[in-house]
Structure 1
Amino acid sequence: MTATAPDDVYASASTRWFALISICVATFLMPMSMSAVNVALPAIAAELQADAVLVSWIPTMNLLGAIALQLPAGRIADMIGRKKVFLAGVLLFALSSLAVVWISHIGWLLLMRLLQGIGGAMVFGTGMAIVSQVFALHGRGMALGLTSTSVYLGLTCGPPIGGWLTEWWNWQAVFVAPLPLTVLCAVLVAIHVRETERQHDQQLDWLGSLLFIVASSLFFVGLSELPDLMGGLLALSGVLLLAGFVYQQEHSPYPLIRPRRMVQNLTFFRSIQASFLMYAANYPLQFLLSLYLQYIRGLSPAEAGQLMLLQAMMMAILAPIAGRLSDRLEPRIPATLGCVLFAAGFLILALLDQDSGLTQVVIALLVMGTGFGLFSSPNNNGALSVVPHDKLSIASSLLNISRTLGNMLGMAVVVFLFNLLIGNAQLTPEQFPALIQLLEIAFALCSGYALLAAWRSWSRGKVRAS
């Protein structure tokens, strides 16, 4: 299955760039908001008098909404138009953010976070597809590279921005501050993006959508509750329902996806596998390295955060360059090299001990930033290059699901290691040897994920005909 070339309706460079800027603004603001809220959690807990369990659900509800609605949102976008779904997602995100101003109970805040996640699913299920559509004949890899950079910068810049807003104003400012840029993004998309053709002969698979929403929700909630027995049962129930979803999709007349057809498209399927493994490696990095820098090396939170920005800086510089490179070379070449470098960076971190210098951390972060910068946009470009034009939204959704599931797996393994090696003990100096051992194991595992990603990336084959 190969992509069909669309007509060049975006011949105007200014139209293309305004469209790209609007998508990048949205894909920066939503992950930025997600990570910025984490810094405001103590202030939220104090004002809303929420216990630790409810507070932990504030970031979780956002991810839950994002993953559960990802596939249905992508399918609806391919049916009725990507522009409509994107704008609806931006509107839902903006309204749920604005509603936080009047919230006085933790339950309502959790509902708003769920709605924000659903809005994010609608944006991310269409964002890359719109960029791929707009730049199909004009350097798609470079444009996807800038889109990937905006996502990563949003996640990285969120904590310092959230800290400043909470300290200077209040925690509600974390939700309200992005609204002017959100409105600007919607206006630019409304003006510069053309609506895709509506598929009148298609219908939404309501049963499949419900199965996916329930299955992914049970699996996600179960993983977040591990190693508790109830968490394991919920996760297992989610896996069984996902198996039922796969069976149902093969027999549905209007499926969200055809799993067998997706697996047969080796380039796309292996690109998804590589994405899943790389994000499983990447997501725990900031958490683990923050523990090492603050507990073992004695750095302040601000000093640790500034040091970890090195990886984001390298990624932001290289992702657009790597994307442009993947327009000229086979995408698997820079993507696979990026996986190998990412694995090498984790091996450098796995050698850290209590006496290691910060130079070792700096080198590792620069290598890893280079690796991830080389991987992200070429991998997305390679995946979307082999997808038919009318399936770009669902393909974009699958790429985002692979990223989220990778994030979940990476953190679930780390939580399991904490329960196994440290348990409920406080992180006092007596626990530092166990913490070092945990970090060594976790970094080695993450290196292994990246090497597996390199294998899947290279084995995807060639995108372009010889």
Structure 2
Amino acid sequence: MTVHHDTPYASASVRWLTLLSICVATFLMPLSMSAVNVALPAIAADLNADAVLVSWIPTMNLLGAIALQLPAGRIADMVGRKKVFLAGLLLFSLSSFAVTLINHIYWLLLMRLLQGIAGAMVFGTGMAIVSQVFAQHGRGMALGLTSTSVYLGLTCGPPIGGWLTEWWDWHAVFLAPLPLAILCAVLVAIHVRETERLQDEKLDWIGSLLFIAASSLFFVGLSGLPALSGGVLAGCGLLLLAGFVYQQEHSPYPLIRLRRMVQNQVFFRSIQASFFMYAANYPLQFMLSLYLQYIRELSPAEAGQLMLLQAMMMAVLAPIAGRLSDHFDPRIPATLGCLLFASGFMVLALLDQDSSMTQVVIALLVMGTGFGLFSSPNNNGALSVVPTDRLSIASSLLNISRTMGNMLGMAVVVFLFNLMIGNAQLVPEQYPALMQLLQIAFALCGGYALMAAWRSWSRGKVR
């Protein structure tokens, strides 16, 4: 595949202000996500939600993100990345404010769905903007700093969520990011230039609707297993997904050119590695929050502070790993990161009610190191083989792999809750079953990370 690079950002100051604008937004989204995870017990108590509904709070965010990711990326390439980016920020702000007006778990789940859609619009365009701006000026380092902003959001989220939940209530967790969202919108409006539109192409509405329906049905069905209705919905989702693949091969303006993507080994296996790593990573904070607060009886603030460790390591190492991937083959640090991440999960799988907190600390430090080594090199390797006029859709595909991985990881956890606990409240009588569930889930996540290591190494050399 021939790669073309535009260089409209000749000024270093403009490049860095653009990067700052994107980093504020990519800090904001994970900040909100990780803060909400720590507030889950308080939300469950206030809204009288059972264990399955509580597990849907982080899951609904994923559903919105996965269903709209491809259409959002395609629209961004057509009408301009800046417009879609700003629209995502606006939707996120409005849905966060609306949480203060609700008093039922189902309305909260709807707002989380809208926040997921907003995240698809922001992440599907943000990484594409950074990749284009820094195409010839240290892209790996810039992507590493973007990843660092994500991890800083993850780092700040748990303690902020814990403090706000204890000192005010859980509604404050949704309100706190709003000032940053306004600041980010101002920075983007001033410093980010609009990308050139693809005037000769149109949005594939049939493909978009097929993808939204297929991903939604499969996700909801997977989360509803082992019930028969869950299996039926998941099967319908797979049938629609097959129809989407067929339709894309015959559409004059497809969302993605599947055959070309599969033939591009570096890009295709990079998104596979991303899929498995995020399947392992996304349920981690949810599961640790339950372990630390229910089984070990830590406060929300104490649990959040302990979960800082992983994100801190990720934040420190991501720009370093990105810089290394500008000079060395990206698959080397990325694969090493996958293996370290898997080893951390094996340590967590050995936890029980009486384990030392040192065991948790060691696991989180190792896992933070592993994910910090993986993320930036993997993204740099994938985007370095994509033409500039397809960066938004390529960025969206990377985010789809991340979100589908998140979806798989969280859906399996929801399935385990349905199977082992059901609709019961998480009271002390349920703690032995909860501990067994967490041990199984940690072991499964370690297996996902090993799969990611295999796909990362087998992509071959980028340079």
1:128 aligns with 2:93: no
- CA offsets 1:210-244 (integer angstroms, 9 cap, x no match): 10111111122222322222122112211111111
Q: Measured at CA, do residues 453 and 50 of structure 1 come closer, stay the same or move farther in structure 2, by a change above 3 Å? A: same
Q: Measured at CA, do residues 93 and 375 of structure 1 come closer, stay the same or move farther in structure 2, by a change above 3 Å? A: same
The aligned amino acid for 1:451 is: L
The aligned amino acid for 1:406 is: G
Q: Measured at CA, do residues 176 and 215 of structure 1 come closer, stay the same or move farther in structure 2, by a change above 3 Å? A: same
Shift of 1:423: 5.8
| Conserved? CA contact 2:267–2:383, under 8 Å | yes
Higher mean C-alpha deviation, range 92-101 or range 189-198: 92-101
Q: Measured at CA, do residues 102 and 413 of structure 1 come closer, stay the same or move farther in structure 2, by a change above 3 Å? A: closer
Higher mean C-alpha deviation, range 319-328 or range 55-64: 55-64
Q: Measured at CA, do residues 244 and 161 of structure 1 come closer, stay the same or move farther in structure 2, by a change above 3 Å? A: same
Shift of 1:54: 6.6
The aligned amino acid for 1:71 is: L
Q: Measured at CA, do residues 379 and 2 of structure 1 come closer, stay the same or move farther in structure 2, by a change above 3 Å? A: farther
- CA offsets 1:239-298 (integer angstroms, 9 cap, x no match): 111111111001100000011111111101100100111111112223333444455555
- TM-score if structure 1 supplies the norm length? 0.90
Partner of 2:3: 3
Shift of 1:26: 0.8
Partner of 2:445: 446
Partner of 1:15: 14
Paired with 2:423 and 2:53, the residues of 1 have a C-alpha distance of 19
1:74 aligns with 2:73: yes
1:322 aligns with 2:321: yes
The aligned amino acid for 2:5 is: A
Shift of 1:88: 1.7
- TM-score if structure 2 supplies the norm length? 0.91
Q: CA RMSD in A?
A: 2.7
1:36 aligns with 2:35: yes
Partner of 1:88: 87
Higher mean C-alpha deviation, range 415-424 or range 264-273: 415-424
* Equivalences for residues 98-177 of structure 1 within 5 A: 98-103=97-102, 109-177=108-176
Higher mean C-alpha deviation, range 310-319 or range 24-33: 24-33
Paired with 2:414 and 2:158, the residues of 1 have a C-alpha distance of 21
1:194 aligns with 2:193: yes
- CA offsets 1:110-146 (integer angstroms, 9 cap, x no match): 5444333222211111010011111111111111112
The aligned amino acid for 2:91 is: L
| Conserved? CA contact 1:226–1:412, under 8 Å | no
Count of aligned pairs between the two proteins:
462
- CA offsets 1:355-379 (integer angstroms, 9 cap, x no match): 5433232222211111100001110
- CA offsets 1:287-319 (integer angstroms, 9 cap, x no match): 333444455555444333322221111111001
Partner of 1:357: 356
Shift of 1:442: 3.0
Q: Measured at CA, do residues 361 and 185 of structure 1 come closer, stay the same or move farther in structure 2, by a change above 3 Å? A: same
Partner of 2:388: 389
The aligned amino acid for 1:3 is: V
The aligned amino acid for 2:250 is: H
| Conserved? CA contact 2:67–2:215, under 8 Å | yes
| Conserved? CA contact 2:279–2:405, under 8 Å | yes
| Conserved? CA contact 1:2–1:385, under 8 Å | no
| Conserved? CA contact 1:346–1:444, under 8 Å | yes
Partner of 1:255: 254
| Conserved? CA contact 2:161–2:301, under 8 Å | no
Structure 1's unaligned 5+ residue stretches are none
Paired with 2:315 and 2:39, the residues of 1 have a C-alpha distance of 26
Q: Measured at CA, do residues 437 and 263 of structure 1 come closer, stay the same or move farther in structure 2, by a change above 3 Å? A: same
Partner of 1:303: 302
Shift of 1:463: 1.3
Partner of 1:462: 461
Question: Which SS does the other structure have where 1:69 is aligned?
Answer: helix
1:25 aligns with 2:29: no
- CA offsets 1:368-391 (integer angstroms, 9 cap, x no match): 111100001110111111111111
Shift of 1:428: 7.0
1:267 aligns with 2:266: yes
The aligned amino acid for 1:260 is: R
| Conserved? CA contact 1:145–1:319, under 8 Å | yes
Paired with 2:136 and 2:306, the residues of 1 have a C-alpha distance of 39
Paired with 2:81 and 2:339, the residues of 1 have a C-alpha distance of 35
| Conserved? CA contact 2:34–2:285, under 8 Å | no
Partner of 2:411: 412
Q: Measured at CA, do residues 357 and 135 of structure 1 come closer, stay the same or move farther in structure 2, by a change above 3 Å? A: same
Structure 2's unaligned 5+ residue stretches are none
The aligned amino acid for 1:132 is: S
| Conserved? CA contact 2:143–2:379, under 8 Å | yes
Partner of 1:347: 346
Q: Measured at CA, do residues 107 and 140 of structure 1 come closer, stay the same or move farther in structure 2, by a change above 3 Å? A: same
Paired with 2:295 and 2:430, the residues of 1 have a C-alpha distance of 10
| Conserved? CA contact 1:214–1:238, under 8 Å | yes
Question: Which SS does the other structure have where 2:199 is aligned?
Answer: coil
| Conserved? CA contact 2:74–2:203, under 8 Å | yes
- CA offsets 1:70-104 (integer angstroms, 9 cap, x no match): 10000011111111111121122223334445556
| Conserved? CA contact 2:59–2:410, under 8 Å | no
Partner of 2:370: 371
